[in-house]
Amino acid sequence: MTNPNARKVTANLSLTLDGRYNGPGGPGDLSAIIPYATTDIARDHMTRMRENATTALLGRLNAEGFLGFWPSVAEDENADPRDRGYAKWLVETEKVVLSTTLTEAPWERTRIVNAPVADVVADLRATGTGDILVNSSTSVIKALLAADLLDRLYLLICPEIAGGGDRLFEDGLPGTKWTLEYQETGKLGETAVVYDRAR
């Protein structure tokens, strides 16, 4: 029996119809994702995923990219209020960055941890309250899926087939069952879904 008050580990990622989070051009090839990333559906989804989250769990590459971009959005009065909301949340919330190379945190309210993700999650679950959100850090999300430690998936499904690139769901993952908690489709055919792990 799981503790209803236990912290949920949640993850967010945008995927193409063929399950890819980038295109055949490699990690920077987001051409099948970008057109849908700033729609109302995507922005509302971003608000939904952070509402109960009190900790951001990030991989180093993702942390460097996010923390190089979002703080300026938090200060931008002309930015979409939902983008500003996420940016302010990221700046102000506790951040745990998994890294084997960083030795000190270059950002405020950030802890660098060099440990297996399962151990880090166990430690975070045992302390504090609120959801632990892994936003787009695919190396962390894949490790959590492999260890069956994810409680909720926020996915934005983009109506394109990339035809190549990296997949989220690789062969060899443990078989798991999920329950659809929320679904909304936008004008471009993008679909925001929230799945909870059925345990």
pLDDT at position 128 is 86
Burial of 3 by CB count in 10 Å (0-12 exposed, 13-18 middle, 19+ buried)?
exposed
List, in sequence order, every residue forming a beta bridge with 131; answer none if it has no partner: 53
**Sign of the dihedral defined by the CA atoms of residues 169, 175, 176, 178, in that order:** positive
The structure tokens 């270059």 sit at 106
Q: Does pTM surpass 0.75?
A: yes
The gap from C-alpha 138 to its chain's centroid, in whole angstroms, comes to 8
4-57 pLDDT tens trace: 568 999 999 999 999 999 999 999 999 999 999 999 999 999 999 999 999 999
Residue ranges and CATH numbers for the domains of the chain are 10-166 (3.40.430.10)
CA distances from 86 to 89, 115, 143 (A): 5, 27, 24
pLDDT at position 67 is 86
6 Cβ contact list (under 8 Å, min separation 6) = 125
Q: How confident is the model at residue 131 (pLDDT cuts 50, 70, 90)?
A: very high
CA angle 53, 117, 89 (to 5 degrees): 20
Residue 67, helix vs strand vs coil = helix
